Amino acid sequence: MDSINVERICASNAPGSLPILKKKCVGIAGAGGLGSNVAIMLARSGIGKLIVVDYDDVEIENLNRQHFFLEHVGKPKVEALGEIIKKIVPGMNYVSSKVRLTEENIAGIFGEVDVLVEALDKAYYKAVLIDSWVALKNNRPIIAVSGVAGYGKIDKIKVKRMGNLTIIGDFESNQCDGMMAPRITLVASMQAALTIEYLMEQST
Amino acid sequence: MIKINDMEIEWRDGMTIQDAMNEVKFSFPLVVVSVNDEIIPQKELPKFVLQDGDKVEVLHLTSGG
């Protein structure tokens, strides 16, 4: 194979985007349905560095919506995600941590990121992450999700902005409605697209 | 007058965000709230006193991801 470098992999990306995005760092809290898909999309977009945090191992029930393969079952999600990213964009700087996020460690783990993606599953932890990030008063964007369960009803998905917080979702559906790939990856794509938009705006 | 999402309610001296949410019968267990586009931490909701004319936005946080 000819030499692999990020410039060739990203040759079809938006003109002028790679020189900016390869200098950027994005944090992803959670490597499940949202986070694993967002991470892959950002890697393909030429982001220079990803910091991904998740506490869980891959389970077979995750394969309906999370970007993992059968061979990853039993492995930490952050480790499996690193292996996949290395097969797509080998040179990307991927930093991961298998820890539980708390009010106390959020600033230390994500202090350097230009944009933070909230990709957690429980509403309580989403609230803790949002509060902790806003309390840092760094004015850097956080892109969160509320209401991504079930199927169809894509016209119900909204993008709401409050200060440096953007929340995407229908604000109604809940985990008990079932978690399916089409809606989860749709919203993950919206998070990734907004991340790139915010990173490009930071550089203008 | 306080604007809370698409509703308008009468402002009272000392009215907190929690009071305003109770008045419009918002009972979501977890929310993100902003006042005049500034996000207010969860712990502050029962204490944060609103001023006449404040614009409050409340978003419901649900599980799933």
For Cα atoms A23, A29, A35, give the angle at the middle one, nearest 5 degrees. Answer: 85
- Measured between CA atoms, the residue of chain B closest to residue A147 is B62
Q: Which residues of B touch A129 (CB under 8 A)?
A: none
Question: How do residues A137-187 score in pLDDT, each as one tens digit?
Answer: 999 999 999 999 999 999 999 999 999 999 999 999 999 999 999 999 999
Outline where DSSP puts E strands in chain A: 25-29, 49-53, 93-97, 115-118, 142-145, 158-162, 165-169
Q: What is the pLDDT of residue A3?
A: 65
Q: What is the pLDDT of residue A140?
A: 96
Domains, chain A, in order of start with CATH, read 14-202 (3.40.50.720)
Q: What ipTM is given for this predicted complex?
A: 0.92
Closest partner residue to B65 (CB to CB) among A33, A124, A177 is: A33
Contact (CB<8Å) A134/B65? no
For Cα atoms A132, A192, A137, give the angle at the middle one, nearest 5 degrees. Answer: 25
Q: Which two tokens stand for residue A193?
A: 């697209």
Whether the CB-CB separation of A47 and A21 falls below 8 Å is answered with yes
SS3 call for B33 = strand
The pLDDT > 70 percentage for chain A reads 99
Q: What is the pLDDT of residue B28?
A: 84
Which CATH number does B2-60 carry?
Answer: 3.10.20.30
Whether the CB-CB separation of A50 and A30 falls below 8 Å is answered with no
| B34 near A CB under 8 A | yes
Q: What is the pLDDT of residue B54?
A: 97
Question: How do residues A41-82 score in pLDDT, each as one tens digit?
Answer: 999 999 999 999 999 999 999 999 999 999 999 999 999 999
- In the predicted structure, residue A107 carries a pLDDT above the cut 90: yes
In chain B, which residues have pLDDT < 50?
Answer: none
Determine the average pLDDT of the residues in A113-118.
Answer: 98
Determine the average pLDDT of the residues in A18-39.
Answer: 98
Q: What is the pLDDT of residue B56?
A: 97
pTM of the predicted model as reported, rounded to 2 decimal places: 0.96
Give A100: exposed, middle or buried? Use CB within 10 Å, 0-12, 13-18, 19+.
Answer: exposed
Going by pLDDT thresholds of 50, 70 and 90, the confidence category of residue A16 is: very high
Going by pLDDT thresholds of 50, 70 and 90, the confidence category of residue A2 is: low
- Please give the residue that has the higher pLDDT: either A123 or A3: A123
Residue ranges covered by each domain of chain B: 2-60
| B14 near A CB under 8 A | no
